[in-house]
Amino acid sequence: MASLALPTLRTTRRAVHQVAASLTPSVSLDLSFSLAPTRTAAPAPSALATLAARLIPDSLAAGLRELLPPWVFAVPKRRTTHGAKRMRASNKGLKEKQNLVSCPSCGAPKLAHHLCHGCHVAFRRELHREAKEAKAGLAPEQRV
């Protein structure tokens, strides 16, 4: 069984190396000096795709597609621009509160069904004062 898998592994590695060698740019030194700019055209992406399709067997490509999850191939083509981010966030501005009421004990504005900040702070101070007095050992009738 292992002997059957080895030849396919070798051909697969060979095919992958051939594709990798064909896709990597070759380096050549041009020692001729000229003032005119020279440009070399890179192969078109469709040409690279057809070359890779010819070199990689269909069974190997299907096997790779089965091994890799589909989200691996879902990659953004370009970076999201600043303007696009701002347009998406444009409708997320601050909204006015409609549930403001006045506190019945002190009259300060507060959110409905919430404690008033001033009353809450005063209540906490009273609790802490009572806790300190209880810790000091003062009886309730000795408190002022």
- Label residue 1 by pLDDT band (50, 70, 90): very low
pLDDT at 134 > cutoff 50 = yes
Whole-number Å distance between alpha carbons of 55 and 62: 14
Higher per-residue pLDDT: 16 or 112: 112
Instruction: Give per-residue pLDDT as tens, 45-67.
Output: 567 667 666 777 777 777 777 77
First to last CA, the chain: 94
Please report how the helices 2-23 and 45-55 are oriented relative to each other, as an axis angle in degrees rounded to 10: 160
Cα dihedral sign, 6-12-13-18: positive
User: Quick check: pTM over 0.75?
Assistant: no
Instruction: Give per-residue pLDDT as tens, 24-42.
Output: 555 454 545 555 555 555 5
